[in-house]
Amino acid sequence: MKRTLSVVLTILISAISAGAQNKEQYVVTDDVSRFWEAYDLITATDDTVLQLHYLDSLYLRPGTEGLTGIRQARNYTPQDYLAAIRLYPAYWSSLRPKTLAAANIGKELEEGIDQLKELYPGLQPATIYFTIGAFRTPGTTIGSNVLIGAELAMADSSCNATEFPEEMDYLRTYFQTNPNRHLVFLNVHEYVHTQQQPRVHNILSLTLYEGVAEFVAALALRTSSPNPQISFGKANAGRIREVFETEMFYPNNRYKWLDGNDPNEFGMRDLGYYVGYQICENYYEQAEDKMQAIKTMIGMDYTNEEAVEDFVRRSNYFSAPLDELYQNFESRR
């Protein structure tokens, strides 16, 4: 009897221990502290060979899978890191204490993911990595990994961006939204991406891909999106839809709507997030089975044109069917 109890107790302890270890690895922040260790030595010397050595030996080579992933996703080279470090010392100084808070955010992120799982019980595990990049993304994903660029995601309006050149003005605007106050939302948005099917690179599919993540994150967290594109879009809904209908069939217009700074008449980048969000919101509000609507959004196969078109049709977002909008586009060419 004692032996049986001992075996049961051992199994229980092992299970609890394994669960605790899994939770500890849910959010990985090792790259942040390693970056600052390298940063201190890099900024203490003018020897460029030594600077590269410190970056490589202290940050890049011992980096996590997440650091490898974000470098791959945004094509970060060692020279990109060194240039960013040399050019913006005031920014790094103002940012540093904010990034160190990454080590304490795990519980908040876990609660946000738990809320997502309530909405979408089929949620698959993913690991969140806090890294430091060179100003190309606050967050992205590769496979089942959420990759956070803490040099952007953990900034706020108090960060000193006076050294940034004009072409980085959009980051000053971004910092005014105090992104470090919305880390849970960002992480839930990116976590949704780890559950989605691969993107197809046409403008409509890309806007849906981002819109699903934005809408589901807001729904799961029972909050409004903190991103200004959504509130701006709702305030200018009619004109945005009108322009999008005429531009979505031009592949070269992608950066007017997503992931770029190409000029548009609205003076706001990334309005494709709003378009995708609104399509999803319309679809969800009209769906009788709300749980199935979420499954349909997250599980959407972007390579299946009929399924994508059916989803869009059911949303009743556009002023006419996609076929008719495309014919209108062709007639204007």
When pLDDT is averaged across residues 181-194 and rounded to a whole number, the result is 98
The answer to whether 175 and 154 are in contact (CB under 8 A) is no
Look at residue 32 and tell me if it is in a domain: yes
DSSP-assigned beta bridge partners for residue 140: 147
pLDDT in tens, 284-309: 999 999 999 999 999 999 999 999 99
What percent of the chain stands above pLDDT 90? 88
Which domain range does residue 59 map to?
26-193
Look at residue 13 and tell me if it is in a domain: no
171 and 215 within one domain: no
108 and 79 within one domain: yes
The pLDDT of residue 26: 83
The pLDDT of residue 251: 86
When pLDDT is averaged across residues 128-134 and rounded to a whole number, the result is 98
217 and 290 within one domain: yes
Burial (CB count <10 Å: 0-12, 13-18, 19+), residue 333: exposed
Look at residue 5 and tell me if it is in a domain: no
| SS3 category, 57 | helix
The answer to whether 129 and 146 are in contact (CB under 8 A) is yes
Which of 193, 216, 237 is the last residue in one of the domains? 193
DSSP annotation of 125: P
Tell me how far apart the 2 most distant CA atoms of the chain are, in Å. Answer: 84
What are the E-state strand segments in the chain? 27-28, 127-131, 139-142, 145-149
pLDDT in tens, 214-245: 999 999 999 999 999 999 999 999 999 999 99
The single-letter code of the amino acid at 200 is V
Task: Report the C-alpha gap between 273 and 8 in whole angstroms.
Answer: 51
The strand pair at 145-149 and 139-142 is best described as antiparallel
Look at residue 135 and tell me if it is in a domain: yes
Which of 147, 170, 193 is the last residue in one of the domains? 193
204 and 323 within one domain: yes
Task: Report the C-alpha gap between 226 and 189 in whole angstroms.
Answer: 11
Look at residue 8 and tell me if it is in a domain: no
| SS3 category, 140 | strand
Residue 23: is its pLDDT beyond 80?
A: no
Look at residue 10 and tell me if it is in a domain: no
Residue 19: is its pLDDT beyond 80?
A: no
Task: Report the C-alpha gap between 17 and 324 in whole angstroms.
Answer: 59
189 and 206 within one domain: no
280 and 165 within one domain: no
Which of 193, 222, 253 is the last residue in one of the domains? 193
37 and 172 within one domain: yes
Look at residue 316 and tell me if it is in a domain: yes
39 and 184 within one domain: yes
76 and 166 within one domain: yes
Element (H, E) at 205: helix 203-221
Residue 21: is its pLDDT beyond 90?
A: no
Residue of 56, 22, 25 whose CA lies nearest to 42: 56
Task: Report the C-alpha gap between 193 and 144 in whole angstroms.
Answer: 9
Residue 2: is its pLDDT beyond 60?
A: no
- Residue 27's φ and ψ, nearest 5 degrees, are -125, 125
Instruction: Give the model's confidence band at 120: pLDDT under 50 very low, under 70 low, under 90 confident, else very high.
Output: very high
Q: Count up the domains in the chain and report the number.
A: 2
Instruction: Give the model's confidence band at 332: pLDDT under 50 very low, under 70 low, under 90 confident, else very high.
Output: confident
212 and 127 within one domain: no
Look at residue 155 and tell me if it is in a domain: yes
Task: Report the C-alpha gap between 69 and 60 in whole angstroms.
Answer: 11
Instruction: Show the tokens assigned to 260.
Output: 């770029």
DSSP-assigned beta bridge partners for residue 129: 28, 147
Work out the angle at residue 207's Cα, subtended by the Cα atoms of residues 72 and 71, and round it to the nearest 5 degrees. 10
Task: Report the C-alpha gap between 72 and 117 in whole angstroms.
Answer: 29
| SS3 category, 28 | strand
130 and 253 within one domain: no
Report, in angstroms and rounded to the nearest whole number, the Rg of the chain calculated over CA atoms: 22
The answer to whether 148 and 167 are in contact (CB under 8 A) is no
108 and 94 within one domain: yes
